[in-house]
Each structure stands twice: as C-alpha cells, then as structure tokens.
Amino acid sequence: MRAGRMWPDRMRGARISARDRFFAAVEVTRIIGPLRTPDADAVRAALAGLHADRPGARVVSRLDLAGGRWRPVPAADAPAWVRNLVIDAGPDADADTTLARLRAEPLGQRPLLFGVGGAYAGLRFNHALGDGRFPAPLMLGVLSAAAAGEPARYPYPSATRLPLLRALGHHLGRRPGRLRAAAGLDRPPSPPATGDELPWRPAIAHHWARSQPGAASRLRAWRDRHAPAASIGAVLSAAVTVAFRAHVGPGDRPGVMVLVDSRRYLPDGVSVNGNFVSGQYVAPPDPSDPCAVHEAMSESLRSGRSLTALALHNARLALTGAPRPPDTVPREPGPHLTLTYVGRADRYANLPWLAGHPQRRLINVVSTAGPQGVTVAVEEFGDVLHATTTFHENVFDPAAMAAATDALVHHAPDLLAHVNPQS
C-alpha cells in the first residue's frame, strides 16, 4: 500500500520550493570560451546519461510553474526531451552568435538549454534551478562528460530538508537577541509618484567587458593600501557606484542591491540546492567609499537580515503570489543597481581552452528587476576581470552602459581615487 502511494508522488515530481519560485521570472545565460567544444549530439548523450542515472533530477525534468512542480520525464520520452535541451549554434558561431541563439529560444517548460557552436559553449537556465552556485558544476560536468563520450553525473550534493528553518534556528535560535537586528530590513526608498510615466515593455540588452591581465591583482593591491578593512565585494560595489554615476547618471535611490548567499547561516554539514540568496539593499552614508560599503554590508551580514528577507519572500508568495511586472517606466529613469560578485572562476581552469586569459570570455546575462533594473555581474578568472551589465535598451543608452562597464574593469582603482589612503 505504501509503495502504491509513493509511485504517483514520484511521477508528480518534487514541489518547487517558495525560495525557487521567487526567482522563476529570472533567466540567466552564461557563455564561456574559446574552447575545444564537444558537438551537440555529444552533449545530448551526456545529458541522456544523467537522466538515466537520476531521472528525477530537476535539470532534466519539466519545469511546471503553473502546477508548482518539477515533472520527471518518463524514460520513453527522454531521448526527444534531452534532444530539445541542446541547440547547435553552428560550426562558425562566435560568442555573440551562441548567446543570441540561446536567448532567441523560448524555454517554455525546459528548465535549461545548452548551446554549443564554434569555440563557445553556453547555458541558459531558469533561475528557479538555482543561484550563482548552480551553473559552474553543471557546465563543467556536462562538457567534460561529453568530451570524453561518457554520461554526465548529477553534480550537486544531496539537499537537506527545511534549510531555511535550520538556518533561522542556527543563527537566531541560539541567540534570540539577534532577532531585533534581523528584522530591521533596509528597503529602497520609493520615489514620489509624478504621473509622468511612459508605457514600457522589456528589451533586455547587455554589454560585456574584459580587463587586461593583472587587473584583479591591481585592485587588491589598491584595496590593501587604501581600504584594507574592506572586502573586494565592497570595493567593487563602490567602483560600480562611481562608474555608473559618471556615465549613466545618478539613480533615484542612494544605495545598491547586493546578492547575499545565506548558506553562511547554516550549521556545518547542511547543504542546499536551488536558491538560497536574497537581495540586500545597502545604503551606506557614502556608497562610493569601500570602507563605508563594507561596514554596511558587514552589519547586514551579522544581523542575518538575508534570512529575514528569504522568509518574507516565502510569505509574500504564499499570500499574494508573484508580483506582476510593471508596464510603465518614469520619463526620466535612474538606474537601480544590483551587483552580483560571482567570485573567482578557478574551477574552469581545466577546460580545454584554445586561448590564454586575455582572449577568454565569461559572459553572464541576468534578467533585471523591472525597467530601471541594471545588473552588474563581475567574475575573476586568471587575474582578469570579466563584467557583464544587463539592462533594458529602451530605458538606458547602450553607449553609456558600455562606458560604465568598461570603466569598471579597466579603471576601478582610478574610480576610487577620492578615497584617502589609510595611515
């Protein structure tokens, strides 16, 4: 009797958590290369092997947002389904062509879409699959397996049940006095309604820029001399603020949104798949000062406000559902900046690269939050900074966005010249 009840549950699939549903309207596209890429059929074969090994894995399941579940694909349907998860961008495709082909394909119920073409590989995925920790293990595992003619393996650890409750209990349960600080969320100020708005529809665009070799080391050397107490994330946040103020103009709110990984609040040995991040609005007295940004971020991290934000996201979805996207934009919009510091991409070092670091591309296009949203994703690889700015080209001037992004990767220390050296 118990087995009879379990089988339909397996066929129905796992429920999409509230943490993951919160991000379901966001898509991410990542391009890497130039590489000796496997062909599309080899990638399909690697994914077919993953499906055979883990048929219920969300990466090879249907994403049923209306039903709120990851729907496993039956073995009989797997060959056609897996074929549909990979596109061939063509033997002469460059990075931009591969990216365009990936983004032109509606995902529908596909949770992800691999693209290979020429010397570049790409992955487009619904953010419901996971946060910034998601794409690298899957891309590495699938591309390596495809190159070796082997089945890919599910690259993520087994997840622990109820991770948010565990994190809340671990961080707040042992010290209830932290609760007041955790509840004090900073929220972006709402600009006064003027009624002077224009109709708007999404028009996602991006600009990618790569620094010269040694830029990451030079940025750290500047930090060590001028702002030794600040993290690199805080230094980049301050540089982003200055670059976009100079080339795009001031926003209508003083701070910046920073994505915070709340895994830091989990007990040892507890793992989380999917999403466990939240956007933290940080508005230090001077957002162009790395030390002020670092202190504001540190205070937010100490308090555990990202856990509060995660809990509020869950509650809001349960009560009101996902918010509707806006259909208007202010006549004079200012950028709402979000910084995603991806960190170091050292795990990509063993891929079969065809060129040295100065020629490599790591592009991260992330959907923005509304018409004024501007997402800046920064990643380090081989002492080179890669930055991708995603925005709506019918809201902001693409040339200004390009200038701000270029300034960030090429001249970050110069942008912060106003910061006084530490004694």
Q: Write out pLDDT tens, residues 62-74.
A: 999 999 999 999 9
How many whole angstroms separate alpha carbon 27 and alpha carbon 366?
6
Write the DSSP assignment of 307-319 as a string of letters.
HHHHHHHHHHHHH
Pair 34, 354: CB distance under 8 Å: yes
* φ and ψ at residue 260, rounded to 5 degrees: -115, 130
Query: pLDDT category, 262, cuts 50, 70, 90?
Result: confident
| Residue whose pair of structure tokens reads 């009560």 in the numeric block | 319
Q: Once rounded to an integer, what is the mean pLDDT over residues 16-35? A: 93
Q: Which tokens sit at 207?
A: 């600009």
pLDDT at 175 over 80: no
pLDDT at 191 over 90: no
> What percentage of residues in the chain have a pLDDT greater than 70?
90
Cα–Cα–Cα angle for 172, 178, 184, nearest 5°? 115
Q: Write out pLDDT tens, residues 300-330.
A: 888 777 787 777 777 777 666 667 788 999 9
| Integer Rg of the chain from CA | 22
pTM of the model: 0.90
Q: How many residues can be counted in the chain?
A: 423
- What 3-state DSSP class applies to 6? helix
> What percentage of residues in the chain have a pLDDT greater than 90?
63
pLDDT at 84 over 80: yes
Please tell me which of 181-190, 223-232, 297-306 the model is most confident about, judged by mean pLDDT. 223-232
Element (H, E) at 373: strand 373-381
Query: pLDDT category, 7, cuts 50, 70, 90?
Result: very low
Pair 412, 219: CB distance under 8 Å: yes
- 11-25, 37-51, 215-229 — which is least confidently predicted? 11-25
pLDDT at 232 over 80: yes
Q: Which tokens sit at 170?
A: 């671990």
Q: Write out pLDDT tens, residues 345-403.
A: 998 998 999 988 888 999 999 988 889 999 999 999 999 999 999 999 999 999 999 99
Cα 399–chain centre separation: 24
